[in-house]
Chain A
Amino acid sequence: MTDATTKRPSRGPSDRAGQLRLINGAKPPNPLVRGFKGVILLACCALVVVPFWSVIATSLADPSQVLAEGGYVMWPKEPTLAAYEAIFRGGVVTRATLVSIFVTLVGSGLSVTVVALLAYSLSRPGTFGSSKILLLVLFTMLFNAGMIPNYLLIKELGLIDSYWALILPTLTNAFQIILMRGFFLEVPGEIIDAARIDGAGELRILTTIMLPLSKAVVAVIALFNAVTYWNAFFNAVLYINSTEKWPLQLVLRTYVVDGTAVQADVSGEMVPPQLSLQMAILVVSLVPICLVYPFLQKHFAQGVVIGAVKG
């Protein structure tokens, strides 16, 4: 990464970057070509932005406007949170949101812990058996046992219909272990030697030296796991039977994709239109990802590349 950026003077002030990146002797692009590119990119961006915008707008729109515009709103005239109030009155959606938050927090917390411990153990040179353990981890990148054996394992472990079935199977991830080990390997050995001489144990070295020094990668792995746990749908379909244990993705499937009417939460009186409720559920499932997205995008794209290069 770094050599690319030094060779190419693209880090200059953004208004000059364009000038600088024109190679000696190259002509600036034809305005027609530039316009064409602009149109294509604008269309691509619109394809992503417009749907999200419309979902948010519909969830905020006033019932009368939703009905008047055939149900589909691009600009809420009198924004109202009625739909959100209705779904958060303590029914299915409220419960599912709490389940998803719980699974996400516990899952990503445990995952980072387990991955960091293993990665640290594997990053110390010459540790007994570490090359074999590394191989054991690497191998899991090459195969996947398949749905039926995984299901039977969860069943034999008695985890069917338990939140642990959503958390445990995806705690470790070979790619993340390798990535974090790579960062730990870059911490200079002298620092660790010094800590050892001062009498620090392995756990102390990990928590007071390694983790603070590789804060960025820890944060990214935590966030990436959080997104995975928040989005997990397949495991919930397979392992969770009772409605009250549904995570948000299953609620979203049932009430938005399958179009089952949302009733459980609403206690009579003024009911916002179904569509507003559905879009509000959709927005609730979008929001956490949009909140962590800026961090994810910044670091993870880099992490993916570094991981791929180090291989």
Chain B
Amino acid sequence: MAVTTGGRGARSPRPEVSGSPDDAPPSGGATNTSRSPAPNRKTNWWARLKRDKFLLLLAVPGVFLVLLFQYVPLIGNIIAFKDYQPYLSIWESPWVGLENFDIIFTGDPAFINALINTLVISFVQIVLVFPIPIALALLLNSLLSEKIKRTVQSILYLPHFMSWVIVVAIFQHMLGDAGLYNTWAREHNIFEINLIGEPELFITLITSQVIWKDAGWGTIIFLAAISRVSIELYEAVAIDGGGRMRQLWHVTLPAIRGVIILLLILKLGDVLTVGFEQIYLQQAPVGREASEVLDTYVYNYGVIGGNWGASAAVGLVKGLVGALLVLGANKIAHLFGERGVYSKW
């Protein structure tokens, strides 16, 4: 017992060990004030387990849920290599090797269509959506009145908390064929915008929705980065006679470069993921040709069409490609001397 107490006392940074229910009196720890490394790490794990049993008990529900809903589905990905039969269980369904991946390798037209749509939408969103929060943050930061800044922020953050169903409904109400704008435009003979339900305009529609919903919220992280810039830097530029544009160019932008690159890398990892809910909600009027993306393809082909194995294969490849893209982008960021996503880990 003395050995375990000593080992525990030496390793644990917690001096109140003696408060634990099954513990020796504090004198045991006090006499054994060895600074030496813990003697037998292996044998006293049982004692530590007993000491921490209440704390561990508190962790049980959370750990159980994490394992069940995060890790078990990960194993469930093996159905990508099986011919899943709904009346059999996952384990009983026969193995088929890589057969489910044929749909990817042979280039099933529906799959290729979904892939192309996904990439196009992602590209448009990186080019058009990504810079807007940065510009908005710079604009907000340049305001002199703190009050106006807060008010504008409060208003612009709001749509972020609305569900996609609400956002889509609001867009229909405002811009639909019989919506507020078009009704008004017809009365006044101004040009109409029929943004909803036009396959050619589908990308415009979902891009503008993404901007409307999340551009304001996206400014938070940039504003936080800007707020950490030391005021002396601005003063230095001002003393050297630099105006506000020079301060922006030589102080603010370099200061948020790290954050911009970090978010860009994360965005790149999501290049095969474009908002499922948003697109799924608006597929019916524009048709699959224009609107099918990988996530809706997995849903329509798998859950609705019953092609479990094949759509799981698509999902698996999509996840792997996303992870590889993040790793690759991070590598490139390191090469250019940036911190990237997980240098600090």
In the complex, which residues of chain A have a beta carbon less than 8 angstroms from the beta carbon of B77? 145-146, 149
Chain B residue nearest in CB terms to A304: B220
CA distance A169 to B65 in the complex (A): 8
Task: Give the Cβ gap from B162 to chain A, nearest Cβ, in Å.
Answer: 7
Task: Return chain A residues, CB-CB under 8 Å to B68.
Answer: 153
Q: Are A7 and B231 in contact (CB under 8 A)?
A: yes
Q: Decide yes or no: A148 and B298 within 8 Å by CB, A153-B73, A289-B161 being known contacts.
A: yes
- Does A177 sit within 8 A of B, measured CB to CB? yes
Within 8 A of B (CB), among A1-50: 1, 4, 7-8, 10, 14, 17-18, 21-29, 37, 40-41, 44-45, 47-50
Nearest opposing residue in chain A for B178, CB measure: A71
Q: List residues of chain B with CB within 8 A of the CB of A117.
A: 58-59, 61-62
Q: Does A147 contact B (CB under 8 A)?
A: yes
Q: Mark A235-254, 1 if CB is under 8 A from B, else 0.
A: 00110000000000100110
| Min distance, Cβ B30 to any Cβ of chain A, angstroms | 15
Contact segment of B6-14, B105-113, B119-127, B198-206: B6-14
- Whether A192 lies near B16 (C-beta < 8 A) is yes
Interface residues of A in 261-295 (CB under 8 A from B): 278-279, 282, 285-286, 289-290, 293
Residues of B near A231 (CB, < 8 A) are 161-163, 165-166
CB contacts (< 8 Å) of A22 on chain B: these are 144
Residue of A nearest to B228 (CB): A4
At the interface, yes or no: B130 with Cβ under 8 Å from chain A? no
**Pairwise interchain contact A41-B231, C-beta atoms closer than 8 A:** no
A71 and B12 contacting across the interface, CB-CB below 8 Å? no
Cα–Cα, bound, A86→B168 (Å): 24
In the complex, the answer to whether B155 meets A151 with C-beta atoms within 8 Å is: no
Partner-contacting stretch, out of A75-83, A87-95, A101-109, A120-128: A120-128
B153 CB to nearest chain A CB (Å): 8
| Chain A contacts for B239, CB-based, 8 A | 24-25
Q: Which one of B235, B281, B302 contacts A148 once the chains associate, using CB atoms below 8 Å?
A: B302
B101 contacts the other chain (CB 8 A): no
* Chain B residues with CB under 8 A of A177: 62
Say how far A186's CB is from chain B's closest CB, in angstroms: 16
| Inter-subunit contact B224/A148 (CB<8 Å) | no
Q: How many A-B residue pairs have CB under 8 A?
A: 298
Query: How far, in whole Å, are A138 and B100 apart by their CA atoms in the complex?
Result: 31
Judge whether B155 and A149 touch: CB under 8 Å.
no
Which size class do B's interface residues fall under?
35 or more
A69, B62: Cα distance in complex, Å = 54
Is residue A137 within 8 Å, beta carbon to beta carbon, of the partner chain?
yes
| B19 and A128 contact, CB distance less than 8 A | no
Instruction: Determine whether B142 belongs to the interface, using a CB cutoff of 8 Å to chain A.
Output: yes
Q: Contact flags (1/0) for B155-197 with A, using CB distance below 8 Å?
A: 1111101111110111011100011100110010000000000
Would you call B56 and A146 a contact (CB within 8 A)? Answer: no
Which residues of A sit under 8 angstroms from B158, Cβ to Cβ?
48, 52, 290, 293
Contact partners of A227 in chain B: CB under 8 A: 161
Bitwise interface map of A from 140 to 178 toward B, beta carbon under 8 Å scored 1, else 0: 101111111111110010000000000011011010010
Q: Let me know if A234 and B19 touch, CB within 8 A.
A: no
**With an 8 A cutoff between CB atoms, is B284 at the interface?**
yes
Q: Does B344 contact A (CB under 8 A)?
A: yes
**In contact, B79 and A152 (Cβ under 8 angstroms):** yes
Contacts of A212 in B (CB 8 A): none
In the complex the two chains form, is B165's CB within 8 Å of A252's CB?
yes
CB distance from A17 to the nearest CB of B (A): 5
Assuming A145-B70, A147-B303, A311-B344, is B162 touching A44 (CB within 8 A)? no
| A-B contacts, 26 listed (Cβ < 8 Å) | A25-B238, A29-B142, A44-B155, A44-B216, A48-B156, A48-B159, A51-B174, A55-B170, A71-B178, A114-B61, A117-B61, A124-B52, A124-B55, A127-B55, A128-B45, A133-B63, A145-B70, A168-B69, A171-B65, A193-B19, A231-B165, A231-B166, A233-B277, A256-B169, A256-B172, A286-B166
Assuming A171-B69, A301-B157, what are 12 further A-B pairs, CB within 8 angstroms? A7-B230, A28-B144, A44-B156, A45-B152, A127-B55, A143-B319, A145-B76, A147-B302, A148-B76, A148-B315, A149-B77, A231-B166
